[in-house]
Amino acid sequence: MFQQGMTRRHFMSHAALGSAAVLGATEFLHHLQLNAAEVSKNRKACILVWLGGGAPTIDMWDLKPGSKNGGEFKPISTAGDLQICEHLPSIAKQMDSLSVVRSMSTREADHARGTYFMHTGFVPNPTVVHPTFGSVVSYELGTKRKELEIPAFVSIGGGGMSPGFLGMSHAPFTVDAGGRIQNADMAGVDPNRLGARLSMLETIEDGFIKSNRGGAGQAHKDVYSKAVNLMRSQQMQAFKIDSEKPEVREAYGRGGFGDSLLMARRLVEVGVPFVEVNTLGGWDLHNDVFNTLKTQRLPQLDKGIAALTADLKERGMLNDTVVVCMGEFGRTPRINQNVGRDHWATSWSVLIGGGGLKSGVAIGETDEDGTRIVGDSYLPSDLWSTVAYALKIPLDTVHTSKRGRPMKIAGGGQPIKGLIG
Amino acid sequence: MKSIVMTWGICFGLMAVLCQSGMGADQKFSSGSTDPIVQYIDEQIQKTWDENEVKPSPVADDAEWVRRVHLDVVGHVPAGQVVDEFLRDKNPAKRSQLIETLLADPGYVRNFTTYWTNTLIGRVTPEKTNRPALEKFLRESFAKNRPWNEIAYDLLSAEGRFDENGAVNYLLAQLQLNPNSEEYVVEATAKTARIFLGLQVQCTQCHNHPFNDWKQNQFWEFNSFFRQMRREDYEKYNPATGRMDDDYSELLHRDFDGPVYYETRAGLMLVAYPKYFGTEVDPGSETNRRLELAKSITRDDSNKWLARAMVNRMWGHYFAYGFTRPIDDMGPHNPPSHPELLDRLTDEFVTSGYDLKQLSRWICNSEAYNLTSKFNPKNEIDNPANGEVPLFSHMYVKPLQVEQLFDSLLVATEADTAIRDGGASGNYERRQMQQQNWTEQFLRIFGNDEEEPTLYSGTIPQALLMMNGPLVRTAISGEKGSYLYTVMTNPAYKKDPERIRALYLAALGRGPTSTEIKGLQSMMARYPDRLSAFQDLYWALLNSNEFIVNH
């Protein structure tokens, strides 16, 4: 199928970066001869861990001891050059590989609008649907990975974000935490019949394609061949976490969230460039924030993120894999009468690491009560530009909306200096 | 005896196809209609062919056309026996006759009710909006073939409860914000301009548009007509849960007079009074602004925007492309491809009393609508998929809409005859609900992009759904009462080629070619049992590119 959002300028910039153009002939041949393992080593990817509802980052990554807004938790030292919450001890041990941006200021404090803004880098606009960043990565990196037989953007747990003007072929491919994919098997029919069915299908489809009625017939055939490749692909094993050793599964934490992160690692391993994990929800803590964090959310998050970071590092994948952990906004520094925190987009934090970004540091700061950013603040467009930079997607990439409006990648933000240093 | 009838049937069918395709290129096509407006359309379209030096493709054979006109007018493929009868019919006016039959079919009402419900409130029903009541309003309107300007008048001026007056649901669906917000009626403003007038004004909410003549003040002048309305939502106590549940909603009049205020990009505060193009309305509290707007749009508009937008939209419905792209962006910055034809059809549509069936009749009887979708060497440039201006020198291929796909699968498989014929036995709403459930389930897979109404856009999950999903699985199960069962057991089908042909007719609206028959039969011979062979053939037909498009 033709690619809808490709502009001429975009195409030219890609052509210029094509390997044959910059490498000499010998080098190019050598480049081709690199074995598959070597190629897979340099494949860039991003895992987005989504904390739906808006996590109280003031209690997690940017604590305010001594302030009336400080809450119940104490900060602890970490392996990195910053302190985080005492209820995240395993992550603390991995903090030399991760960083925190403490100066996010993102305007949108409504769930739907914030979710849109943080996923796309664009504020909602009634005239256009912007692509969620996973779709952008699918469009930019997925289409180039010919060896990839499964979709380039997998969402574990779903969440309904749209590929927008990049089109449905870059929509998130949704699975549940058990790795189940709707309609991916023949539901009780002898799988040997698939071959026979496809031969008959080919007879009918080829006739229609030859009848010279435009591109739709061939496009349909191409999609079916992708779907069949997927059904038959060895890469589908990536969804099956049962094959992991019990101690690995234990390390990630038994349950939907641990399973999802483990699956995300397996998917990145086979070449999927973007995985979103949306299976640890319930962060909209207007009530009883400390108790809920301490006993439920943080232990799961701690175990899962720490295991994922350690595992990626051990496998030599962390340098090519960006991990981002955030929700649609932070929560009010002020503690409300229900011992909860409300929506807050003015000053909050995001956890980010891997992908060769600078690690073990805190970027930016908030004032002593956490209500205001001191110094530079960052937008989601800056955050996604940082990710694009780490994934080696050119920052001058421009897509075109269906109405022909040029759209800068990641909302035209600037990579966060302290992270790309 | 039966087999003889059958054999003759096939022969007649073949003859009919041969007659059609044998028609010379210089012989003037006629569907059987003698309406001078149809002739005018043909002349105008012919003119642009000549100007652009393209030669039209030949007239579509009957099989291609009968499937197309069913999908476009009644929203599903024709049943196998309907195709068979049409192919056998030797009446030269059979196309115009079939158009009449389909316009009188309950499927016409259902098809356009679905189309307009989706257009007015989207495929996903907004909060506190009564979709079935809106459908009922539209269904009754289309069944009586009420004039389009009267339907539009009702939709724009309606007040009352969302269950008692279904027409209020169009505006209720657009009122989703806090009633005190300055943006409360912005959505209603933009949607009304786009859907009813074919004008895109949403960008001008905030600034004068660089390529659009519509200015920011016009947006707010138009907006001020909608200020005298608000939604009221009622709840009721649910004794079972102890909670308050949604009960019903109402569209009410709200007191408002004077100007609305808006801010320019430069931060200047300006005022706007209710004004529809040239027509100014008294901004006092005595004026019912929405009623005035409804009158201006549907009765007194010398520009005929309402009619023009509908003509363009219906042309786009039948040809995949209208006279402008997109069909609902007809402002002066976006000139139409066939201005004279658009003007004339607009005038004639108004003169006809905004007769929707008449508009469909003119389009379907035109020569362009009857051409094949195949390109020929002399019209390869006529390819709007590549961004070219459409010349209508051949039919353009349209992917099926989700609802067309659903209804076509039901027809092709007789999976649920009772549901399909719901209109007659009074369970229309049950059927609509099933379709709605199915559609919502599919939207995740098919997407719900308003800019480009949801189509089979070719994604892996869509393919998997068709290949392995429950609907096709049921369709090919061969259960008693299903079409496959009939084909396998009815003694009228004597031999395998007849059975293969029957499946082809139901799925693709045509018989197999001799090459296809040969290839398929040798593949089917390898099956251990005949049922599996036919199941898999039907699977292949329903999964084919030819099934999933309307050509």
Tell me if B532 and A193 make a contact (CB, 8 A cut-off).
Answer: yes
- B471 close contact with A: CB closer than 8 A: no
Q: Dump pLDDT digits (tens) for A238-284.
A: 999 999 999 999 999 999 999 999 999 999 999 999 999 999 999 99
d(CA A274, CA A264): 9
Mean pLDDT of all residues in A50-63? 98
The Cα of B396 is separated from the nearest Cα of chain A by a number of Å equal to 8
The answer for B 484-513 residues in CB contact with A (under 8 A) is: 513
Smallest CA–CA distance, residue B284 to chain A, in Å, is: 31
The angle subtended at Cα B410 by Cα B408 and Cα B416, nearest 5°, is 165
pLDDT, tens digit, for every residue of B44-96? Answer: 999 999 999 999 999 999 999 999 999 999 999 999 999 999 999 999 999 99
Type of residue found at A304 = G
In our burial notation (b when 16+ CB lie closer than 10 A, e otherwise), range A16-28 reads eeeeeeeeeeeee
What is the average pLDDT score of chain A?
88
pLDDT value at residue B264 = 85
Q: Are A199 and B544 a contacting pair at CB < 8 A?
A: no
Contacts of B459 in chain A (CB under 8 A): 168-169, 171, 223
Across the interface, of A173, A219, A231, the residue whose CB is closest to B461 is A173
> What is the distance between the alpha carbons of residues B465 and B447, in angstroms, rounded to a whole number?
14
The whole-number pLDDT of residue B26 equals 52
- Per-residue confidence at B447, pLDDT binned at 50, 70, 90? low
Given a cut of 90, is residue A162 above it in pLDDT? no
DSSP H/E element including B234: strand B229-238
pLDDT of B300 reads 87
Q: Name the nearest CA neighbour of B440 among B473, B402, B409.
A: B402
Whether B546 sits inside 8 A of A208 (CB atoms) is yes
A207 touches chain B (CB under 8 A): yes
The string over A172-211, giving b where at least 16 C-beta atoms fall within 10 Å of a residue's C-beta and e elsewhere, is bbbbebebebbbbbbeebeeebbebbbebbbbbbbbbbeb
Q: Does B474 touch chain A (CB under 8 A)?
A: no
Measured between beta carbons, the chain B residues lying within 8 angstroms of A160 are 444
Q: What angle (nearest 5°) sits at the alpha carbon of residue A283, between those of residues A279 and A287?
A: 145
CB proximity A203 to B under 8 Å? yes
User: Which chain B residues touch A184 with a CB distance below 8 Å?
Assistant: 464, 468
pLDDT at residue B19 greater than cutoff 90: no
pLDDT in tens, B344-374: 999 999 999 999 999 999 999 999 999 999 9
Q: Write down the pLDDT at residue B16.
A: 42
> At residue A5, does pLDDT exceed 50?
no
Structure-model confidence comparison of residues A216 and A371, the more confident one:
A371
| Residue B310 confidence class, pLDDT cut points 50, 70, 90 | very high
pLDDT for B8 beyond 90: no
CB A152 within 8 Å of CB A145: yes
B70: which 2 tokens? 């069913």
Strands (E), A202-299: 274-277
Q: Tokens 């003549």 appear where?
A: B213
Arithmetic mean of pLDDT, A390-419: 92
Taking every pair of Cα atoms in chain B, the longest distance, rounded to a whole number of angstroms, is: 86
**For testing the chain A interface, which of B544, B547, B548, B551 should be mutated: the one with the most A CBs within 10 Å?**
B544
User: What proportion of chain B, given as a percentage, has pLDDT over 70?
Assistant: 86
* Beta strands per DSSP E along A230-318: 274-277
User: B371 vs chain A: nearest CA distance in angstroms?
Assistant: 12
Degrees (nearest 5) of the Cα angle A201, A204, A210? 130
Percent of chain B with pLDDT over 90: 65
Chain B segment 173-192 residues within 8 A of A by beta carbon are 186-187, 190
Q: Give residue B480's pLDDT.
A: 81
Residues in Cβ contact with B11 at an 8 Å cutoff, skipping those fewer than 6 apart:
none
Q: Does B339 touch chain A (CB under 8 A)?
A: no
| Cα–Cα dist A374/A103, whole Å | 8
Q: Looking at beta carbons, which residues of chain B come within 8 Å of A1?
A: 458
B217-258: per-residue pLDDT in tens? 888 999 999 999 999 999 999 999 888 999 999 999 999 999
Average pLDDT, chain B: 87
- Name the minimum distance, in Å, from the CA of B185 to any CA of chain A: 13
Output the pLDDT for position B4: 40
One-letter amino acid identity for A152?
A
Count Cβ atoms below 10 Å from residue B250 Cβ, excluding itself.
18
Q: Does B537 touch chain A (CB under 8 A)?
A: yes
What is the least distance, in Å, from the CA of B459 to any CA of chain A? 5
Q: What is the DSSP letter of A131?
A: P
Q: So what's the pLDDT on residue B5?
A: 40
Q: Is the separation of the CB atoms in A331 and A347 below 8 Å? A: no
pLDDT in tens, B160-200: 999 999 999 999 999 988 888 888 999 999 999 999 999 98
Compute how many other C-beta atoms are within 10 angstroms of the C-beta atom of residue B496.
Answer: 17
User: What's the rounded mean pLDDT across residues A349-375?
Assistant: 97
Q: Is B416 exposed, middle or buried (0-12, 13-18, 19+ CB in 10 A)?
A: middle
Amino acid at position B243, single letter: R
Question: What ipTM does this complex have?
Answer: 0.86
Q: Would you call A76 an interface residue with chain B, using a CB distance cutoff of 8 Å?
A: no
Structure confidence at residue B451 as a pLDDT band (50, 70, 90): very low
pLDDT the model gives residue B21? 40
Rounded distance, CA A369 to CA B87, Å?
80
Q: What pLDDT is recorded for position A296?
A: 96
pLDDT (0 to 100) of residue A278: 96
Contact B532 A1 (CB under 8 A): no
- pLDDT, one tens digit per residue, over A274-286 is 999 999 999 999 9
**CB pairs under 8 A, 24+ apart, for B476-483?**
B476/B413, B476/B535, B476/B536, B476/B538, B476/B539, B476/B542, B477/B535, B478/B531, B478/B534, B478/B535, B481/B414, B481/B417, B482/B413, B482/B414, B482/B415, B483/B80, B483/B412, B483/B413, B483/B414
Residue A7 half-sphere exposure, CB side, CA atoms within 13 Å? 18
Q: How confident is the model at residue A137 (pLDDT cuts 50, 70, 90)?
A: very high
Return d(Cα A67, Cα A79) in angstroms, integer: 25
pLDDT grade for B425, boundaries at 50, 70 and 90: very low
Contact check, Cβ <8 Å, A182/B465: yes
Q: Phi/psi at B88 (nearest 5 deg)?
A: -80, -25
Give alpha helix (H) positions in A325-393.
Answer: 380-390
Burial class (CB in 10 A: 0-12, 13-18, 19+), B387: exposed
Option in B374, B446, B459 nearest A223 (CB): B459
Å between B61 CA and nearest CA of chain A: 13
Contact: B202, A209; criterion CB under 8 Å = no
**Residue A138 pLDDT > 60, yes or no?**
yes
- pLDDT at residue B13 tops 80: no
* Model pLDDT, residue B105: 97
- Which of A148, A186, A224 to mutate to test binding with chain B, by most B CBs within 10 Å of its CB? A224
pTM value?
Answer: 0.81
Residue B474 pLDDT > 90, yes or no?
no
Point out the residue among B203, B465, B543 whose CB comes nearest to the CB of A183: B465
pLDDT of residue B448: 53
Q: What pLDDT does residue B15 have? A: 41
Q: A32-46, A351-365, A374-388, B477-491: which has the minimum mean pLDDT?
A: A32-46
Average pLDDT estimate for B303-323:
97
Nearest to A133 by CA among A9, A257, A44, A48: A48
**Tokens (6 digits) for A306:** 């720490």
pLDDT over threshold 60, residue B20: no
